[in-house]
Structure 1
């Protein structure tokens, strides 16, 4: 059992890890019929109520048969009634019975991001999961493409994580690319960018976007420190480490554990997701403004790497990079605000 010390400068972070959060599973009616082919995949995402409008957009993009839709959406907020009114008043959401909504009632000062992800992961009843975030819209047709890729790449009998390349736009209104060719054209025009290219290249650099542009078959990539792709995997993977709350290292740590377990990372050549712009979260604002926040994140990161090394008898050479991210975020925020005001 984790022993807490109130004199610890990172006490609030450590306490957040052991908080018992009240959870309401399947907040609305849920129905699901297993796919006969055995390759079905569930999209898992989490959000706070300020991202509520993304749920409807996501459901329009993640198309599937009415009874095999299966996103699992996890909310972190006490405003459950607000969500209920929104869902029942939506033409898209009110007719869907195959979306699992789970409500987690937040306590404390930090967004319990990995706790939420674990709630969604624990409720999945398909063999495979697509682990993403709510601010990403999948390309149209991604669901059947992932099912086919799962079958062709034999995910049932191998330790593979399929990487879905991530992109972003800084415009609130765009014509969403329907094909890879359209996406590449938008990249060349500067309407889209590779995800976090201006802020944090390490997070997705191993995806090798240069190779992806011309790739027609899946290709393996090597794990590197700070890699945090969005992936399709079997549902029996390790859960997320709940010591990471708020902003920073919540996905990186999960991918790092998959690397420690010997997973291969395979990039899909014809799939993509696009991140839509939004105001910075409260937690990233705290990260940018608080040196203590960044110091505690560094401590938690080092403790995690040490713990992971012991569990898997591996040595990870990790360099500290939070300050680099902090400096670039300040610069990029000014660029982002300028671009936002231009459209």
Structure 2
């Protein structure tokens, strides 16, 4: 935002209810009070049908909302109808807070309701609705969720994505992140139960907040799952203290999430976590690592939207975060547990085959791109490039290319 710019609130008949006007209209816009002819002023509004306005030396150029959004999400399948803040949380949002950034489909509406009632903090939910004959019924179900659950009305910002394209997970993640209204976000799958109060533990710790504010740290909350699916159905029975969790681990009832795919969460170093009482750094990173993390929203990379369907989509997000110079640090007393549900394994298997090939090329592309960036910005010999140098040298031909 330019110097001298201020936020203004646009009039809306729904402002008192806390519900967004439901017409894709933004409730906030920026105007500039700086009259310097050399100053570029940006105004984000679509009250008159425009999403953005750029004023330069006294002239105005308008960018239509569909055109701007097509650029924002140009790597995804489209077109999509995006309605940010279709529902807007009534509870005041404090900037120094942690927003749960999540994506939700129709069959997870009840889970979103339970999450809102449990967390009682800001949630930015990207909700995908298929643009087909089921759309009206799904909208009624969503409205029913807000009508019946006061915690959803209080804490959840809903951003609708309406199109015929299933499983564009990274696009949905980017939408949820883009419209989160706090300094920090947690990229979370809605099926996970928050067993501990990491939110207040982090926000009340000045040293941890300082690490987040520096923009070089992502905090890992270890994830677990029950070995018997039936044990993971009722979240009210889940342990809420580390000692109780470890006892169930020792009883072979619960273990790290997706233990059969060790690369996904193994770098968290669960054996160390069981005995640790201090924040510790992930030192055995691998490119398949996909923990659930808390990080500063501004300055963090976006998820690559070319990954569509199951397989590597979240790992690609975390990989770019890592190459961008963020370190993963594990919270010693907090944890999540997966709530059991069925998986469409046939669909997953086919999509994983495609995304495995895409991810291999993506990692090589990213290593070269970030190498160019660090060299051009003078950061090649700084600590920011350490993750890249360690990880990218594993790629055949990288050294000679650099």
Other structure's SS at 1:277 match = coil
Aligned-partner SS, 2:122: coil
Closer/same/farther in 2, CA of residues 146 and 139 from structure 1, 3 Å limit = farther
Aligned to 1:76: 128
2:242 aligns with: 180
Rounded Cα–Cα distance in structure 1 between residues aligned with 2:346 and 2:84: 30
Q: 1:117 Cα deviation (Å)?
A: 0.6
Please name the residue that 1:18 is paired with: 77
1:211 aligns with 2:272: yes
Question: Paired residue for 1:265, among 310, 325, 328?
Answer: 328
SS in 2 for 1:103: strand
Structure-2 change in CA distance of 1:123 and 1:187 (3 Å): same
Which residue does 2:364 correspond to in 1?
A: 306
CA distance in 1, matches of 2:154, 2:251: 40
Kindly report structure 1 stretches of 4+ aligned residues shifted beyond 4 Å: none
Alpha carbons of 1:191 and 1:295: their partners in 2 closer, same or farther (altered >3 Å)? closer
Q: Secondary structure at the match of 1:152?
A: helix
Number of residue pairs the alignment of both structures matches: 289
Deviations 1:70-125 (A, max 9, x none): 111111113222211122123543xx3331011111313x3111111101100111
Aligned counterpart, 1:228: 290
Asked whether the 8 Å contact 2:123–2:155 carries over to 1, the reply is yes
Q: Which has the higher strand share?
A: 2
Q: 1:317: which partner in 2?
A: 394
TM-score normalized by the length of structure 1: 0.78
Q: Distance in 1 between matches of 2:286 and 2:241?
A: 29
- Contact persistence 2:113–2:145 (CA under 8 A): no
Structure 1 CA distance for aligned equivalents of residues 254 and 86 of structure 2: 36
2:145 to 81, 86, 101: 86
Tell me how far apart the structure 2 counterparts of residues 228 and 294 of structure 1 sit (CA, whole Å).
15
Q: Which residue of 2 aligns with 1:66?
A: none
Q: 1:92 to 1:153 in 2, by over 3 A?
A: closer
Superposition TM-score, scaled by structure 2 size: 0.67
Structure 1 distance, partners of 2:214, 2:88, is 33
Inter-partner Cα distance in structure 2 for 1:221 and 1:166: 15
Residue 217 of structure 1 contacts residue 269 of structure 1 at CA under 8 Å; is this kept in 2?
yes
1:278-309, CA deviations, whole angstroms, 9 ceiling, x for partnerless residues? 0114xx43132x3xx44422321122112202
Q: Provide the C-alpha distance between the structure 2 equivalents of 1:32 and 1:87, rounded to a whole number of angstroms.
A: 14
Is 1:164–1:229's contact at 8 Å kept on the other side of the alignment?
yes
Question: Shift of residue 190 of structure 1?
Answer: 2.5
Q: Which moved more, 1:52-61 or 1:268-277?
A: 52-61
SS in 2 for 1:24: strand
Structure 1: runs of 5 or more not aligned: 1-14, 64-68, 320-343
- Equivalent residues in 2 for 1:105-254, closer than 5 Å: 105-108=162-165, 110-149=166-205, 151-152=207-208, 154=210, 155-169=212-226, 170=229, 171=231, 172-173=233-234, 175-197=237-259, 199-222=260-283, 223-236=285-298, 237-254=300-317
CA contact (8 A) 2:196 2:336 kept: no
Which region of structure 1 is more displaced relative to structure 2, 223-232 or 138-147? 138-147
Q: Verify the 8 A CA contact 1:225 1:318 in the aligned structure 2.
A: no
State the Cα deviation string for residues 239-295 of structure 1 (Å, max 9, x = none): 1110111101111111111121111110000111111110114xx43132x3xx444
Q: Whose radius of gyration is greater, 1 or 2?
A: 2
CA RMSD of aligned residues (A): 2.2
* Partners of 1:16 and 1:245 within 8 A in 2: no
